Amino acid sequence: MTARKASMIVDKDFVISRIDDRLYGSFIEHLGRAVYGGIYEPGHPQADGQGFRQDVLALVRELRVPIVRYPGGNFVSGYDWKDGIGPKESRPRRLELAWRTVEPNLFGLNEFADWSRAAGSDVMWAINLGTHGVDEARNIVEYANHPSGSYWSDLRISHGYKQPHAIKTWCLGNEMDGPWQIGAKTAVEYGRIAAESAKVMKWVDPSIELVACGSSGRGMPTYPEWEATVLDHTYEHADYLSLHSYYGNADNDTATFLGRSLEMEDFIHSVTATCDYIKAKKRSKKTMMLSFDEWNVWFHSNNADRKIEPWQVAPPQLEDVYTMEDALVVGCLLIALLKHSDRVRMACLAQLVNVIAPIMTENGGAAWAQTIYYPYLHASIYGRGQALVPLVQSPKYDTKDITDIPYLESIAVYDDRAGEVTVFAVNRDLENALPLEVDLRSFGRCEMIGHTVLEHEDLKATNTAASPDRVKPRDGGDTSSDGSKITATLGKASWNVIRVRVVE
């Protein structure tokens, strides 16, 4: 039997797109301990004067997160943003119906703007189009972005923020097709209110960009008719259409789980086709871009979440503890996003801290990186520049749910400013190493920088507060280069980052 092997040709002239840095965005919702006990915990030994946990901020800064979506999520459809501004002692406590908790409103727009600046991130603000509408949409843009001389901008100044927050990116609601959503709407109802809200928001600040809600998931009964109808109303007002998708392994079928990124690619293809149909229908010159502003692995915490007593402040909701195999899937999903970076210009790993997150904390205690932190870290740091068309030859396998899954999932990114090429590669083979050759002849001569590997003999291995480094990358993978070709051996079930420098 011939040993399995894979190959990839990378040509510097075959460019998918220059990657928008916002592809590596994330998400903070008022859900569980994402805010309270996550990014914000006054009294914690490492909290600053504003209550921001510095240990968490250090982990976020290391990720170089370019943009963070806030404040939801399902939360936003019942949220009055005015509850979270002004003196904290005057802010109301509210029953939060999306997640059945109590929201104390000790952290809101101004605090999040401050935290984002400290994290080195921009803000993607989601407006409430569930219980609110056009008037509130224009008012919050005026409060956040208008310099001065109007009611809402002067109110911001009175709250201690003379300079506008200059929030550029805004989501027109969240998952408005979902029956679980407060104020859920039909596609026509949503399309109309989104269009009218978009219109007045851009009248207040013409520089902003807007994201219209696509389907909550490709399994929705109205998908993709929802997208087509919504775009019929919003195409000339919105700049992006959102996609949301989560992936799980409740059946403990790892081989299928590792192939779920193919489903993400199919989702992107079909939404892109729907956008282009509306473009043709409207004879528009504009191409609609995509914002994959919720994606991740999510299934571990489902049973625990059903047992949580309602009406608590910041209970431990959606606290998935991630495994080595989850990290491999996240790596594959990141590669899928890079393959489609010509249309997916923004994406948000949902979420950032504690809630289905790469970063975990203990209240009053430690913060640490989960397994999925590492592929996200590597992609964010080394995946800047141009995504290159991956011409891949790989053996494949079938499962009961998905066929023709390549053992090799891979893409290359050329950082033309630094003169470096990075190959991201996942070996999906659970039993065998995979030999790989990467042809780089179009670049001239290259020299190795390094090969980083994330792997573990136990695919169910996790990181915890007691063992934060159980699953951690190592340098020194089995790779060599003759100047125009990389020869590597990818360990079984491994995430690999192979970097070379272009020297001529």
pLDDT of residue 3: 64
Answer yes or no: is pLDDT of 2 > 60.
no
Mean pLDDT (the chain) is 97
Together in a domain, 337 and 408: no
Encode pLDDT of 145-158 as tens digits: 999 999 999 999 99
Instruction: Tell me which of 382, 408, 435 is where a domain ends.
Output: 382
Same domain, 275 and 192: yes
Ranges assigned E (strand) in 120-201: 122-126, 169-171
46 and 195 belong to one structural domain: yes
Stretch 72-76: mean pLDDT: 98
Q: Is there a single domain that holds both residue 457 and residue 324?
A: no
Token pair, residue 186, equals: 């039909």
* Rounded-to-integer distance, Cα 1 and Cα 98, Å: 56
- Quote the Cα angle for 300-302-304, to 5°: 95
- Tell me, yes or no, whether 276 and 395 share the same domain: no
Residue 487, beta-bridge partner list: 437, 480
Looking at the fold, whether 404 and 272 belong to one and the same domain comes out as no
Residue 1 domain flag: no
Q: Is 176 exposed, middle or buried (0-12, 13-18, 19+ CB in 10 A)?
A: buried
**CATH code where residue 324 lies:** 3.20.20.80
pLDDT at 436: 97
How far is the C-alpha of 84 from the C-alpha of 70, rounded, in Å? 13
Distances (CA, A) of 288 to 228, 251, 270, 275, 436: 12, 36, 13, 6, 36
Average pLDDT over residues 218-241: 97
| Residue that finishes a domain, picked among 351, 382, 413 | 382
Q: How high is the pLDDT of residue 234? A: 98
Give the max Cα distance, the chain.
Answer: 77
Contact 426, 410 (CB under 8 A): yes
pLDDT above 70 as % of the chain = 99
Give the separation between CA 233 and CA 228, rounded to whole angstroms: 9
pLDDT digits (tens, 9 = 90+) for 289-319: 999 999 999 999 999 999 999 999 999 999 9
CB 488 within 8 A of CB 451: yes
Question: Does residue 84 carry a pLDDT above 60?
Answer: yes
Q: Is 171 helix (H, G, I), strand (E, B) or coil?
A: strand
- 361 and 438 assigned to the same domain: no
Task: In whole angstroms, give the CA distance from residue 239 to residue 15.
Answer: 23
Q: What are phi and psi of 46, to 5 degrees?
A: -110, 20
**Residue indicated by tokens 């995430």:** 495
Query: Does 455 share its domain with 372?
Result: no
Amino acid sitting at position 16: I
Judge whether residue 1 has pLDDT over 60.
no
pLDDT digits (tens, 9 = 90+) for 319-357: 999 999 999 999 999 999 999 999 999 999 999 999 999
pLDDT digits (tens, 9 = 90+) for 356-395: 999 999 999 999 999 999 999 999 999 999 999 999 999 9
Q: Is pLDDT of 488 > 50? A: yes
- Same domain membership, residue 195 and residue 110: yes
Final residue belonging to a domain, choices 346, 363, 382: 382
User: Which residue shows structure tokens 């149909």?
Assistant: 277
Domain hosting 436: range is 6-11+388-502
Q: What is the 3-state secondary structure (H, E, C) of 202-251?
A: HHHCCCCEEEECCCCCCCCCCCCHHHHHHHHHHCCCCCEEEEEEEECCCC
Q: Which of 27-36, 183-192, 322-331, 478-487 has the lowest mean pLDDT?
A: 478-487
Which CATH number goes with the domain that contains 426?
Answer: 2.60.40.1180
pLDDT of 469 = 97
Query: 450: which strand partners?
Result: 499
Residues 124 and 69: beta-carbon distance below 8 Å: yes
* Whether the predicted model's global pTM rises above the 0.85 cut: yes
Catalytic residue numbers read 175, 294
Instruction: Report the pLDDT averaged over residues 215-228.
Output: 96
Alpha carbon distances (Å) from 362 to 225, 353, 365:
43, 11, 5
Number of domain units in the chain: 2
Domain match, 363 and 283 both = yes
What would the pLDDT profile of 269-283 be if each residue is shown by its tens digit?
999 999 999 999 999
